[in-house]
Amino acid sequence: MSRGFRGNPMKQVLKSKFTGSLDRTYLRWKSWTHQNRGRFVPKLLIDFSVGEYRVRTVSNISDLQRVLRLRYEVFIREGLNKNRALKLDLDAYDFLADHLVVENRETGEILGTYRIISSLFSDRFYSENEFELGDLLRRPGHKLELGRACIRPQYRTGAIIALLWRGVKQYMDATQTRYMFGCASIKTMSLEKISLIYHYLMEKGHFSSEFRIVPTEEFRIRSLGNGPAFALSDSAELRSLIPSLLRSYFKAGAVVVGEPALDSEFQCIDFLTILDTQKLEGSYEKRFSKA
């Protein structure tokens, strides 16, 4: 989700909202496409087919624009993008990233996408705007940030996310990634629910204290640890609040580190999740290593 930030000029690009011809994100898009003569070259080429689907990193500006429009169309329905005039879900990190897509081989329609930022190609990461990542980034090994996961509603049956994960696994292997990380959002602003979710995830063993990571001051929630513990009767309701994507991360071996960040603008909380690829759950390792 695009956020609002203060201070850093890079973050100011992300803060902009459409204000006619002065929209900074729009101007950045125009400037970037002009400087690159309308070209977009992937940092790493991923390209394979499974049945009726093709999985690849986008390799031209037209495909990138289609990805950004798909994200806009999906996120605007979910209240996660307010830049209605530009009609692209765009921030400065899109220029630093690779964009993995699953598309229909016959029609070329893009069905789902992931944004991937590797430490091999960038020293800037979206999650830094909400979390103090120093402890993670100082550790040896390449890092890979996943974000902007987006699948057309009619294709959310599991097959498309599985293909995206297979593409991510190829990317991870090619870059010899040690840590994958990213923000996982839960749509709630209820402090009681946030506290219950936090304690529920702790109780279920999804937290790790290995990393010293906290939300930045702007996104911090006060006195979260003092909230009510969940009751057994709350488990079913709380589990229903956990997005399927986050549950799939847990199944792969990912953990939540630290308290969630509170995003008031987009009415949600974000947990930072980290997957140490040396601890990738065996069934996932086997499943997504298939070419």
Report pLDDT digits (tens) over 109-166. 999 999 999 999 999 999 999 999 999 999 999 999 999 999 999 999 889 999 999 9
Tokens of 261: 């960040």
Highest-scoring range by mean pLDDT, 25-29, 52-56, 263-267: 52-56
Mean pLDDT score, 268-284 = 88
Calculate the average pLDDT of the chain: 84
**Span 241-257, pLDDT tens digits:** 898 889 989 999 999 99
Residue 289 has pLDDT above 80, yes or no: no
Q: Is 64 part of a structural domain of the chain? A: yes
Q: Is 199 part of a structural domain of the chain? A: yes
Task: Name the pLDDT band for 236 (thresholds 50, 70, 90).
Answer: confident
Q: Is 29 part of a structural domain of the chain? A: yes
Q: Is 87 part of a structural domain of the chain? A: yes
Lowest-confidence region among 30-39, 171-180, 266-275: 30-39
pLDDT at res. 19: 35
Q: Is 82 part of a structural domain of the chain? A: yes
DSSP per position, 1-51 = ------S-HHHHHHH----GGG-HHHHHHHHHHHHTTT----SS--EEEET
pLDDT at res. 228: 55
Number of folded domains that form the chain: 1
Q: In terms of residue numbers, what domain contains 38?
A: 9-288
pLDDT at res. 104: 98
The CATH number for 112's domain is: 3.40.630.30
Q: Is 88 part of a structural domain of the chain? A: yes
Q: Is 4 part of a structural domain of the chain? A: no
Highest-scoring range by mean pLDDT, 103-117, 157-171, 213-227, 231-245: 103-117
pLDDT at res. 283: 63
pLDDT at res. 223: 72
Residue 71 has pLDDT above 90, yes or no: yes
Q: Is 1 part of a structural domain of the chain? A: no
**Sign of torsion, CA 93 81 195 147?**
negative
pLDDT at res. 22: 37
- How far are the Cα atoms of 135, 141, 209, 250, 257 from residue 205, in angstroms, in the given order? 21, 25, 11, 10, 11
> Global pTM?
0.85
